[in-house]
Chains A and B, each alone.
Chain A
Amino acid sequence: MEPAAGAVAGVEELRVENLAKRFGGLRVLEGISFALAPGDLLGVIGPNGAGKTTLINVITGRTPPSGGRILLGGQDITGRPTHAVSRLGVVRSFQQTNTFKAASVRENVSRALRFSGGAGPQGWARVAPLLDAFGLAPRLGEQSDKLPYGLQKMLGLTLAYAANPKVLLLDEPAAGLERSERTRVDEFVRHVRACGCSVLIVEHDMDLVRRLCPRIIVLDAGVVLAEGPPAEVLARQDVIAAYVGADAAGDEAA
């Protein structure tokens, strides 16, 4: 798949400094720090309840952090509302299928472009290669929640990319997909990175993580347990221990 022309805007890097999130007395995230270079790809793994989705929620302004800073290209975006963070270029995808259910595929994409301020032919040109690659192009008139699950999921990813992000935060993009469908996630990630997008990917599918991510961090009970290349990190005893008995074990073995 070819990157669309003119898509690469001024790409920036995301920096998270000492991020913390507590709900009442419950510590969900503590002292999380990492950085994403332009076009970089960072995997985030960890057992359920480790705080992975909360991390995405905090970065995108859905929940305010209890401490720490989030910088985008040097600009402090901590505590900004979701729509503002999105307009600045940090866009997420969702774990469950997330489309505008009653709307057609075309309307879905058109809304994503309009809401992000990118309506017009350039926007469509940027998204077109993804629609073609996922087989969505011939189904533009179909209602999105009538599509097969896998396609709904890919539409969700496409919508996030349509919002013209500099940094994409993907929340378990492969969850619920058939094995054969999971390579589409690879395709998606490769495409958006080629367009200069930085990607943070939260994922349970360890094959996919190993395939895609040059670098991962392991979250456990809200703190960073380990960081480094997947082969190295996944061999560590404490990481394995964190996963023993955890739900992800089955997923990984599959």
Chain B
Amino acid sequence: MEARSPSRWGAQEWAAVAMFLAVLAVPWATDDLLVQSIVNRVLIGAMAALSVFIMLRMDLLSFATPAFMALGGYAAVLLTMHGVTEVLLIVPASFLVPALVALPLGALVLRLRGVYFVLVTFVLTEILQLVLFMTPRLTGGADGLAGFPAPTLLGTELSDARSVLALAAAMALLAAVITAALTAHFRQHFAAIEENEVLAESLGLVVWRYKAMGFVVAAGIAGMAGFSLGNMLLTVHPTSFGAQQAVDTIVYAIIGGRGSILGPIAGASLLVTVSDFLGNQGQYAQGLFGLLLILVTLVARGGIAGAVAALARRLRAPRAAAGPAAAAPEAARGGA
């Protein structure tokens, strides 16, 4: 009678990790700089969208992703400027600094729900951006930080295009593993909070503990994305971490599908690539995002991942009909 073990990874978690494992080969598979650049930006977008996804699992829409990206990015870059270039140190730092900030911050903001949480995270991003502009001695202010030393791996410099991409892929893989582990392990808890937080709490679930855990991990993953962005652009600048970026990452997660870890990955892959192909008309990508956002909200609440899962279910249906009715797959939950 007991439901299956809560921490077991499903096909989607394995697929997500396998995809990023495969991407690890891309730096060696192609020398095409355009392809490498797109893949790199997809990886960064996917990491940021995973951060949004974690919060969406608990029905919390966060605009604070760019703020945490900035914390991670600036922390890592400042470390390299102070002589610490070892990636085995700066990558963890880019995760830990925003995560540590998120811990006390979470105690304050996670009491808010719904639109109030949205607004408070929006305000956080605006505040951090202003602070970056106003602290030129630490963060370079409006100039940002540039010309920092390349990161190293056990003494080897990672400065060529191939190593930059490989590092981005490795970080994205790490982000996917962490996200999969967290959301699979607490699947039931997060789902309970998403569906009915009040009931979960009244049955004894310590809701704030799970929200805090999600918030801290989401901040850490955003921080890695921030470092990855700085490493690709060779600069960290306040304008990379504003409300616009918050909207982009939310769009990736929602259009890709909030019900499955594959959603944000699919959303970032598709939308980053599309905006790249729009090239000079890059501004028009925003309009496309807007249309897709409206469309997904109205007709495909599970986003791309949800739609694909529904299609797969329909194709499989004739075969499955003979067997016992399957429990509703996770991806179908996108709406709510």
Contact = CB atoms under 8 A, between A and B. Distances in A.
Interface of A: 60, 62, 82-83, 86-87, 91-92, 94, 98-104, 106-107, 110-112, 114-117, 119-121, 124, 128, 140-141, 143, 159-160, 162-163
Contacts of B199: 94, 98-100, 159
Given A91-B203, A98-B199, A99-B199, A141 B325 contact: yes
Contacts of B195: 100-103
Interface in B296-336: 324-325, 327-328, 332-333, 336
A82 B1 contact: no
A102 B204 contact: no
6 contacts: A83-B204, A83-B205, A91-B203, A100-B191, A102-B336, A116-B204
B196 A99 contact: yes
A115 B200 contact: yes
Contacts of A91: 202-204
B201 A103 contact: no
Contact of A86 (B189, B204, B328): B204
A251 to B, nearest CB: 25
Interface of B: 1-3, 6, 188-189, 191-192, 195-196, 198-207, 324-325, 327-328, 332-333, 336
A111 B199 CA distance: 10
Contacts of B196: 98-101
Contacts of A94: 198-199, 202
A182 to B, nearest CB: 22
B205 to A, nearest CB: 4
Contacts, number: 92
Nearest to A117: B204
Contact of A163 (B2, B203, B328, B333): B203
Given A110-B3, A111-B203, A120-B2, 11 more contacts: A82-B202, A83-B201, A83-B205, A92-B202, A98-B199, A102-B191, A102-B336, A106-B327, A115-B204, A116-B204, A124-B1
B202 A100 contact: no
A86 B1 contact: no
A128 B2 CA distance: 12
A162 B2 CA distance: 13
A132 to B, nearest CB: 12
Contacts of B332: 102
A104 B203 contact: no
Contacts of A114: 6, 188
Among A60, A83, A124, A128, chain B packs the most CB atoms within 10 A around the CB of A83
B203 A86 contact: yes
A192 to B, nearest CB: 15
A143 B328 contact: yes
Nearest to B326: A141
Contact of A141 (B189, B207, B327): B327
Contacts of B1: 106, 124, 128, 140
A102 B333 contact: yes
A141 B328 CA distance: 9
Nearest to B207: A83
B2 A110 contact: yes
Contacts of A107: 3, 188, 327
Among B192, B199, B324, chain A packs the most CB atoms within 10 A around the CB of B199
A86 B192 contact: no
Contacts of A82: 201-202
Given A98-B196, A102-B195, A86 B202 contact: yes
